[in-house]
Amino acid sequence: MNAIIIATELAHDLTGANPPVLLDVRWQLSLARAAGEPAFDGRAEYAAGHLPGAVFVDLDRELASAPGERGRHPLPDIAEFGAAMRRAGVSSGRPVVVYDGGQGWAAARAWWLLRWTGHPDVRVLDGGLPAWEGPLSTDVPTPAPGDFEPVPAAGGLLDADAAAALARSGVLLDARAAERYQGDVEPIDRVGGHIPGAVSAPTTENVTADGRFLPADELRARFKDLGASEGAEVGVYCGSGVSAAHEVLALAVAGIPAALYVGSWSEWSSDPSRPVATGAEPE
């Protein structure tokens, strides 16, 4: 099953006998609060217009637990996540399509969580809301409760120790911007740099200028150049496990399974005893 769906295909599926549940996960990393300005408000964006029938999902509250020692977006409580998905109408026997404002990071976080906890049919709208050419709605639906019961998979998830080991035994990709990987700047976390052995692989290089994913063969070629090809053990991290989910999605489009280090740099860098590498090279 493809991990992404284009807008015309989604429009067709919405008229079918088993239309997908639509989840609107508009969110963006914002430093506005630190500057004393209002933070991005995904719920307000949703209220101003969304795909007809879509239900808003709050990334900070429903796709993550409170920030702390485990990072800025640690895993949500699984029972609470399941309850939130059921309120949104998610059932195991019905497909789900997730979208955001176009960047794809937040939608990918929802995609990853649903897939990791056992939902069999989840896709991300390629290009997000800007790719949709149909009408928008301001009506807030009240879906019938779903029956989805999340069951976390045995694999696909890394903690700090596993990420450090994978950087030595396999391929650990750092999905952040190159300047953060190198330690030239660090606008959010305690210290700049990267996990020793990790390879710089900005997730922004997986998409075109309009936010759509590169073709699968181009993604495969890119990841092969980074050492992440078929047969390699691959993991991804970022700042807080959001843009890294987008890179895991890009790897899935390329046919390469990968694990996610959810705590990511926000967890790793919070412990002064963990080693930090700087510069353009992995070590």
Catalytic residues: 238
> What is the identity of the amino acid at 243?
S
The answer to whether the beta carbons of residues 150 and 85 sit under 8 Å apart is yes
The answer to whether the beta carbons of residues 25 and 42 sit under 8 Å apart is yes
28, two tokens: 């963006």
CA distance 258 to 248: 6
Count other C-beta atoms under 10 Å from residue 166's C-beta: 23
Give me Rg for the CA atoms of the chain. Answer: 18
What angle do the packed helices 105-116 and 243-253 form, to 10 degrees?
70
Q: Phi, psi (5° rounding) for residue 117?
A: -95, 10
Three-state SS annotation for 170-205:
CEEEECCCHHHHHCCCCCCCCCCCECCCCEECCHHH
The answer to whether the beta carbons of residues 24 and 57 sit under 8 Å apart is yes
